[in-house]
Amino acid sequence: MITPGPLFSVSGQFRNCLRISYAHPWDARRVEALGRLPELLLGP
């Protein structure tokens, strides 16, 4: 689950953050997917 950062602040901070909740064991496929996240968010 991906949640906007301000939800975790009573003062509305962390607008440039997000929280990734993850409850599965780490494996090579998941590490690779997480490594692709910046490109998916920011573009090539």
pLDDT tens-digit map of 2-39: 899 999 899 989 998 888 888 888 899 989 988 998 89
Q: Which residue has the higher pLDDT, 44 or 19?
A: 19
Beta carbons within 8 Å of 10's beta carbon, 6+ residues apart: none
Domain total in the chain: 1
pLDDT at residue 37, as a whole number:
86
pTM: 0.51
Domain range holding 21? Answer: 2-42
Q: How far is CA 19 from CA 12, 15, 44, in A?
A: 14, 11, 22
